[in-house]
């Protein structure tokens, strides 16, 4: 007994001497802690008709929602100080006696015991979180190793930074920041996210036993987290039972330090541990039919220079998160698009890799108002490989944006030849040789030189009555006569037609240059539906095309409005040429191939449009616009040989006519909501 006392006294003397030396050394070290930005959850919203935000999805590396001190229950604060640092409000940044007690315990019992104050623990968390800002995974790992290594140097640095922090911040604020930064198991960080996840509550509303259970997790997140009720195979966790032991210890400490009454303590100890796990919405799959739009938003955040000068910066910003992103998605149009697509195009079809797409864009704004397709969204390659109903590919966008390599657009592309025809001073009433033939001869191409086509190029028309010798440009547009447009192209410059299409923002989805051969006039280029919707919006906007945008505004963690990509509007053709195009395309809707869509649209406003069908009816399109909204719908072959849509029937009807059921369903909602004005009249010279 006497020998044990001597050991304790000697240990105490040694520790006191060491503590004095340590404090002297710590005071001499740098003490400026740069806290920086914490990784937080970001939210992506659409806006309801009444102006209220609607959450599409959340994403995060760390599920954290930072909250102020007054949004954290006193139970949580008292449980934290009682369990982790009872003298938090009395001692300085370093708990000298806690450190001494830890050292003595280690010396006497041989069992290590921590003695870090809450301020010191907070400093360590900040140093670890700084690693999160690094985009390079190797640098991040090295940073973690340095921040958590068990060395005297690291401990001394933490103590110095803790002293510096308490010179600048109050105890109340340090405790708030500690509770916002600390981990609660898995990807759950901060007391607000922990209360949400484990108890479907908030940091302000948790009960006493719930608060103690949450604080218990901090001590050993793997052992005490509450979403693993059963023992793990390696015995690391024993679910609720382990948490209750630690929880009840914390309640005992709260009673000991007079933070709660005996009655409250006893009632809390008697309460069972009953978590209500509420899985947070994470990732675009929670956006349901809007998932592909959401995916494009996230890719924009990672790739657009508006969010950082280089990819590494953008990735670091993306990982840190904490943004509220308010998108352009119109929930009324989106709901109509999702409903009509589900009614008319199945997710899969035996023997045919079928795709269905709908995209709407605001005229004059470039705002993407609707985007959906006939598949379940997944980013799991194994799921997509095994389930024909699912894909991670966005059929509406370019390959570089997570999309496909595009689809042939058929006759919807003919409007760019019409634009070039009018640009060159021709009239809609002018006729060209339109008979079918086996040798179309030489076509002018100012970029590549004259192009001669032999018997291998012999486009035909859809119906025998379209084989007259001559058709006007207007007649060819109304009835979508292939040979009429080839005849027009014969009198034009193939390079000029391509450049006119490019002036409307049209480009191949795979990133290659647009093909400009004679066949391309009939729509053989593979183009994303979103690109065509923006181009048709440009026609409806008096010839001014606006690039698509998805984000109206974005707010940072401090409420500051952040810069977002803006639509760039460019005059593609003169207003007169656009008026001539619109004149012909209105006739398509009243007496031509687009009439079935117009007849089904209610309310009806002035609309322009053009249908498109590819060889052997493998892909069918309806593209058109009012002066407010442009919409493109399509039923396409995603891969393989496809089916003849005129001979294929879905539950909703013939595949080939699905476009005329879907387009009016969306445009009826658009017309009711946004209305539509008269299109400008073209000069008399264009119609005479």
Selected from 1.10.274.30, 3.40.50.2300, 1.10.3720.10, 3.40.710.10, the CATH number assigned to the domain covering 408-527 reads 3.40.710.10
pLDDT at 106 over 70: no
pLDDT tens-digit map of 179-216 = 998 999 888 989 999 999 999 999 999 999 999 999 99
pLDDT band at 676 (very low <50, low <70, confident <90, very high): very high
What does the pLDDT read at residue 83?
A: 94
The 3 state secondary structure assigned to 458-521 is CCCCCCHHHCCCEEEHHHHHHHCCHHHHHHHHHCCEHHHHHHHHHHCCCCCCCCCCCCCCHHHH
**CATH top class, domain 2-30+64-270:** mainly alpha
H/E element holding 451?
strand 451-453
pLDDT band at 566 (very low <50, low <70, confident <90, very high): very high
Instruction: Work out the percent of the chain whose per-residue pLDDT is above 70.
Output: 88
Q: Where in the chain is the domain with CATH 3.40.710.10?
A: 330-386+393-404+530-688, 408-527
What does the pLDDT read at residue 155?
A: 74
What does the pLDDT read at residue 407?
A: 98
pLDDT at 316 over 70: yes
d(CA 229, CA 235): 12
Average pLDDT in the 25-29 region? 43
Better-scored residue on pLDDT, 279 or 439: 439
pLDDT band at 309 (very low <50, low <70, confident <90, very high): confident
d(CA 653, CA 672): 26
| 3-class DSSP assignment, residue 452 | strand
Which residues, including other chains, have CB under 8 Å from residue 216's CB and lie 6 or more apart?
Answer: 83, 224, 243, 246, 247, 249, 250
Strands 42-47, 324-330: parallel, antiparallel or unpaired by DSSP?
parallel
Which residues, including other chains, have CB under 8 Å from residue 225's CB and lie 6 or more apart?
Answer: 184, 185, 186, 188, 198, 217, 237, 243
pLDDT tens-digit map of 79-104 = 999 999 999 999 888 876 665 555 45
pLDDT tens-digit map of 477-486 = 999 999 999 9
pLDDT band at 112 (very low <50, low <70, confident <90, very high): very low
**CATH top class, domain 330-386+393-404+530-688:** alpha beta
Highest mean pLDDT among 55-69, 301-315, 413-427: 413-427
Average pLDDT in the 643-656 region? 96
The H helix count followed by the E strand count for the chain is 25, 22
**HSE value, Cβ hemisphere, 13 Å, CA-based, for 74:** 3
What does the pLDDT read at residue 466?
A: 59
Task: Compute the mean pLDDT over every residue in the chain, rounded to the nearest whole number.
Answer: 88
What does the pLDDT read at residue 464?
A: 60
d(CA 600, CA 665): 8
pLDDT tens-digit map of 146-159 = 877 777 777 778 78
pLDDT at 113 over 50: no
The 3 state secondary structure assigned to 26-37 is HHCCCCCCCCCC
pLDDT tens-digit map of 275-300 = 998 877 678 888 999 999 999 999 99
What does the pLDDT read at residue 233?
A: 41
pLDDT at 378 over 80: yes
Give yes or no for a contact between 367 and 534, defined as CB atoms under 8 angstroms apart. Answer: no
Instruction: Work out the percent of the chain whose per-residue pLDDT is above 90.
Output: 65
Give yes or no for a contact between 650 and 349, defined as CB atoms under 8 angstroms apart. Answer: yes
pLDDT band at 26 (very low <50, low <70, confident <90, very high): very low
What does the pLDDT read at residue 235?
A: 42
The values of phi and psi at residue 526, to 5°, are -90, 115
What does the pLDDT read at residue 99?
A: 59
| 3-class DSSP assignment, residue 549 | strand
Other CB atoms closer than 10 Å to residue 391's CB: what's the count?
24
What does the pLDDT read at residue 398?
A: 97
pLDDT band at 467 (very low <50, low <70, confident <90, very high): low
């Amino acid at each position: 007994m006497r020998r044990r006392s001597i050991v304790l006294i000697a240990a105490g003397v040694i520790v006191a001497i060491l503590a004095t030396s340590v404090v002297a050394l710590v005071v001499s070290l740098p003490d400026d802690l740069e806290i920086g930005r914490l990784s937080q959850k970001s939210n992506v919203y659409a806006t309801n008709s009444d102006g209220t935000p609607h959450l599409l999805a959340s994403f995060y590396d760390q599920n954290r929602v930072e909250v102020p001190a007054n949004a954290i229950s006193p139970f949580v604060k008292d449980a934290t100080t009682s369990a982790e640092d009872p003298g938090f409000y009395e001692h300085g940044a370093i708990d000298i006696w806690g450190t001494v007690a830890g050292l003595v315990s280690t010396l006497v019992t041989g069992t290590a015991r921590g003695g870090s104050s809450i301020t010191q623990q907070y400093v360590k968390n900040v140093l670890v979180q700084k690693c999160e800002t690094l985009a390079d995974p190797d640098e991040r790992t090295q940073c973690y190793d340095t921040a958590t290594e068990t060395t005297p140097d690291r401990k001394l640095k933490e103590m110095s930074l803790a002293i510096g922090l308490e010179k600048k911040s109050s105890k109340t604020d340090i405790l708030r920041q500690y509770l916002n930064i600390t981990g609660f198991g898995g990807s759950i960080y901060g007391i607000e996210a922990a209360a949400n996840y484990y108890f479907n509550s908030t940091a302000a509303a948790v009960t006493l036993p719930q608060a103690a259970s949450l604080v218990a997790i901090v001590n050993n997140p793997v052992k005490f987290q509450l979403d693993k009720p059963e023992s793990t195979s390696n015995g690391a966790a024993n679910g609720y039972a382990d948490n209750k032991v630690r929880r009840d210890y914390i309640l005992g400490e709260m009673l000991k330090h007079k933070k709660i009454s005996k009655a409250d303590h006893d009632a809390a100890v008697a309460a069972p541990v009953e978590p209500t796990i509420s899985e947070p919405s994470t990732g675009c799959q929670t956006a349901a039919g809007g998932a592909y739009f959401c995916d494009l938003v996230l890719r924009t955040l990672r790739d657009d220079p508006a969010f950082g000068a280089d990819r590494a910066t953008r990735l670091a910003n993306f990982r840190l998160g904490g943004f509220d992103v308010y998108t352009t998605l119109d929930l009324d149009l989106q709901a109509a698009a999702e409903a009509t697509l589900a009614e008319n195009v199945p997710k899969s079809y035996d023997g045919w890799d079928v795709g269905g797409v709908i995209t709407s864009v605001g005229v004059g704004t470039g705002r993407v108002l609707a985007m959906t397709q006939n598949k379940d969204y997944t980013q799991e390659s194994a799921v997509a490989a095994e389930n024909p109903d699912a894909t991670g590919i966005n059929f509406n966008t370019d390959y570089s944006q997570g999309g496909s390599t595009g689809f042939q657009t058929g006759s919807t592309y003919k409007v760019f030849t019409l634009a070039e025809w009018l640009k060159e001073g021709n009239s809609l009433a002018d006729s060209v040789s339109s008979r079918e033939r086996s040798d179309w001869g030489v076509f002018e191409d100012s970029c590549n030189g004259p192009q001669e086509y032999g018997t291998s190029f012999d486009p035909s028309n859809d119906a025998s009555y379209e084989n007259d010798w001559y058709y006007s440009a207007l007649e060819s547009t109304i009835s979508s006569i292939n040979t009429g447009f080839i005849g027009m192209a014969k009198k034009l410059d193939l390079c000029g037609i391509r450049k006119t299409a490019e002036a409307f923002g049209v480009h191949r989805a795979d990133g290659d240059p647009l093909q400009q051969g004679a066949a391309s006039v009939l729509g053989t280029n593979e183009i994303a539906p979103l690109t065509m919707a923006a181009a048709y919006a440009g026609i409806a906007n008096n010839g001014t095309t606006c690039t698509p945008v998805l984000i109206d505004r974005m707010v940072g963690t401090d409420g500051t409005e952040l810069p977002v990509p803006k639509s760039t509007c460019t005059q593609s053709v003169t207003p007169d040429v656009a008026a001539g195009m619109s004149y012909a395309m209105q006739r398509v809707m009243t007496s031509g191939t687009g009439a079935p869509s117009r007849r089904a649209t209610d309310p009806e406003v002035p609309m322009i449009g053009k249908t498109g069908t590819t060889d052997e009816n493998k892909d069918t399109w309806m593209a058109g616009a009012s002066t407010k909204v442009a919409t493109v719908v399509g039923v396409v072959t995603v891969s393989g040989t496809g089916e003849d849509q005129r001979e294929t029937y879905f539950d909703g009807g013939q595949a080939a006519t699905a476009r005329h059921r879907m387009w009016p369903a969306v445009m009826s909602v658009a017309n009711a909501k946004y209305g539509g004005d008269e299109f400008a009249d073209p000069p008399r010279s264009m119609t005479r």
